[in-house]
Amino acid sequence: MQKLTNKAVGTLRVHDVSLNLLKANDYIAEMIRDEMKEKNILLLNLVSSPGSGKTSLLEETIRRMKGRLNIAVLEGDLETERDAMRIREQGVQALQIITHGTCHLEAQMIQQALPNMNFEGIDILFIENVGNLVCPASYDLGEDIRVTLVSCTEGDDKPKKYPGMFLTTDIMLVTKSDLLPYVPFSVDAVLRDACEVNPKIESFVLSALKGDGMDEWCNWLSGKVKAKKGVNVSDIF
Amino acid sequence: MHEVAICQSIVKTLGEELEEEQFQNVREVHLRVGALSCVEPKILTHVFKYVIEGSPFHRCRLYAHTVEVLAACEHCNSNFKVGHYRFICPACNRPSSTIIEGNELTIYKIILEEPSYAEVNQ
């Protein structure tokens, strides 16, 4: 038999706390960041709407970097292993994370996938996030650089419509630039809007299909690998 | 869009913070939801009811308070409110995206009901 309480029924007690709901994710993201730093691997998180060309960009980047830099890819999708298969056809390591309906990748999913990859000699690890411009913005995956793609077929109003994503983005890539003459898309407008949301954002305009702008992108990427490793890239090439 | 995941995270956080015998006494949980957190407070509070159904927290209500975006200007050292995602300092008209407030997604208050006479003497 418990002791009687002399407290009035229904007394409320207020607890002032400060509990971050994304704390667990951020903690794991830091662990991933530390691991990648130790391995000297540049980690990039690729985000965009579905169909703006993340996988095509990766295919073309891998093709151009062959023999220069070693790339590995983690693919995130709701279902199927199709993207990972496309990447493997380029002769590089790719692992598919199937989220079964979850609209974003979380740091824990990356952490679980990492031990299944061989990082021997790898310079860059790309994470291709689930196609979605909303939720992936909230989840740090331990990346060094967040890259957001905007294809010119989806419209130049994306930065203002999905500001959360562009605010947390380091690089914006305007893709499918070969279609610019055929669609009402203003590169100036998208750059201006993106800079208004995030003044620190850098950007490239490119076409993975025709190759325009790909050299600049690849050179920039090499420079980032160099900075991460703290060595002269000309020694590698 | 990922409000269910956030609600599950709330339940998990409460579970870690409180003692098990306190679970059923939680009446209110108050959240600070930054305007930049990509979470819709109304959907959050709605979804929460379904997430806690059948759990020890089933008598808990969620209150989500939106926090406006506040940025600091590195050029003129003033703080300014950011409306419509325009990160431009109204004082000096230069761009700045150093965010002071508006990113948070935190529980800042938990209200527990003290065990009632009946509960204690079960």
pTM over cut 0.80: no
Question: pLDDT tens across A201-214, in order?
Answer: 999 999 999 999 99
Distance from C-alpha of A219 to C-alpha of A154, rounded to nearest angstrom: 27
pLDDT at A159: 93
Chain B residues touching A197 at Cβ < 8 A: 85, 87, 97
Question: pLDDT tens across A64-103, in order?
Answer: 999 999 999 999 999 999 999 999 999 999 999 999 888 8
What contacts A3, CB < 8 A, 6 or more positions away?
B120
- Facing residue for A2 by CB, picked from B10, B95, B120: B120
Q: Where are the alpha helices (DSSP H) in A40-116?
A: 54-65, 82-88, 107-113
pLDDT at A233: 47
Distance from C-alpha of B24 to C-alpha of B11, rounded to nearest angstrom: 12
ipTM score: 0.75
**What token pair was written down for A127?**
């994470």
Q: Does A21 touch chain B (CB under 8 A)?
A: yes
pLDDT at B120: 62
Distance from C-alpha of A5 to C-alpha of A180, rounded to nearest angstrom: 75
Contact A13 B111 (CB under 8 A): yes
Contact A14 B97 (CB under 8 A): no
Chain B residues touching A132 at Cβ < 8 A: 1
A14 domain-assigned: no
Beta-bridged to residue A87, according to DSSP, are: none
Distance from C-alpha of A202 to C-alpha of A219, rounded to nearest angstrom: 14
From the number of C-beta atoms within 10 Å of its C-beta (0-12, 13-18, 19+), residue A99 rates as middle
- Facing residue for A2 by CB, picked from B36, B110, B121: B121
A174 domain-assigned: no
A117 domain-assigned: yes
B85 backbone φψ class: left, alpha, beta (φ>0; ψ -120 to 50): left
Contact A21 B105 (CB under 8 A): yes
Q: Does A78 touch chain B (CB under 8 A)?
A: no
Chain B residues touching A196 at Cβ < 8 A: 85-88, 95
pLDDT beneath 70, residues of chain A: 1-10, 231-237
Tens-of-pLDDT digits for all 122 residues of chain B? Answer: 578 888 988 999 999 999 998 999 999 999 999 988 878 899 999 999 999 999 999 999 999 999 999 999 988 989 999 888 888 889 998 887 788 998 889 999 999 987 765 566 66
Contact A21 B112 (CB under 8 A): no
pLDDT at B86: 82
Q: For the domain bounded by B3-15+26-114, which CATH number is listed?
A: 3.30.2320.80
**What token pair was written down for A53?**
């060309």
pLDDT at A62: 97
| Contact criterion met (CB below 8 Å) for B27 and B62 | no
Total domains, chain A: 1
A6 domain-assigned: no
Contact B111 A12 (CB under 8 A): yes
Range of the domain at A220: 23-149+211-228
pLDDT at A8: 61
User: What does the radius of gyration of chain B's CA atoms come to, in whole angstroms?
Assistant: 19
Distance from C-alpha of A141 to C-alpha of A203, rounded to nearest angstrom: 21
pLDDT at A18: 86
Domain ranges of chain B: 3-15+26-114
Indicate which CATH number applies to the domain containing A101.
Answer: 3.40.50.300
